[in-house]
Amino acid sequence: ADLNADGQMELVIGATGDDTGGTSAGAVYILFFDSSGTISSGTVLRNGEGGIYNGFIAAGSLFGSGLAATTEGVAVGAQLVNNLAGAVYVLTLDTDGTFLGETTIDGNLSSFSGADPQSGDSFGASLATDAAKTHLVIGASQDSVALSEAGSIYFMNLTSVCPTPVPTPAPTSDPTPAPTHVPSLSSAKALFCGTTGMVSSTTVINETVIQEFYTLTQNDDFG
């Protein structure tokens, strides 16, 4: 990720066993580098630090289990939150790496269409995005849909839905230029606003999907 657009890539590191904000709550470290490759600064994201409010990350979540760069910051997996079902937090970050806001992807997301993460699935154990940040791949290493703890991968298509800013008409008697506003989105599940996208569809890849090509067995932790 290059959060501050200085041409130097930042290093984002998960520390799932960090106990500072609660036993095994986890944390994410963001390291900034100068042009010589030397660490110039850093930010820690955990309960009570980096703009994260206390209680945001539940104890035992393993926050930082999966990481992927997004257009507005970073997506962070917390594979043991929600009774071990897991979740992914899409964090919007400032240029110094501090927290500005988040969108949660978990079993409440409508596009799962019945294939949503269940207790014990470890959804968010691993994460990846493509170069354009239009697809998000989420591993659920303990998913037992096909075989016990064989694992699954969720492949999500993100579609641009961020509305174009619309000028608010100013009263004719007011010469001050009118501010612009962005209409509210119809869904609370908007992701990556700016080049924002929404999860428009979700494909689940597990043993039943790939059995023609590969064989997964029980406890493979695929994903």
Residue 4: the pLDDT is: 82
Q: pTM for the whole thing?
A: 0.73
136 contacts 156 by C-beta, under 8 angstroms: yes
Cross-strand partners of 13? 29
| Residue-wise DSSP of 61-113 | --EEEEEEE-SSEEEEEETTTTTTTBEEEEEEE-TTS-EEEEEEESTT-GGGT
Here the tokens at position 126 are: 């691993």
Residue 27: the pLDDT is: 96
> What are the φ and ψ backbone dihedral angles of 110, each rounded to 5 degrees?
-65, -30
Residue 108: the pLDDT is: 75
Q: How many CB atoms lie within 10 A of CB 54?
A: 11
Residue 99: the pLDDT is: 94
Q: Domain boundaries in the chain? A: 62-210
Residue 167: the pLDDT is: 39
Any long-range contacts for 43-49 (C-beta under 8 Å, 24+ apart)?
A: 43/96, 43/97, 43/98, 45/76, 45/91, 45/97, 45/98, 45/99, 46/18, 46/20, 46/21, 47/20, 47/21, 47/22, 48/20, 48/21, 49/20, 49/21
Residue type, 115: A
**pLDDT, block means (10 residues), the chain with 223 residues:** 85 94 95 92 95 93 94 91 91 93 80 72 90 84 73 71 39 42 28 39 55 52 53
CA distances from 201 to 43, 135, 165 (A): 33, 10, 26
| Residue-wise DSSP of 175-213 | -SPPPEE-PPPS-TTEESTTS-EEEEEEEEE-HHHHTTT
Residue 142: the pLDDT is: 83
CA distances from 27 to 22, 100, 162 (A): 10, 16, 29
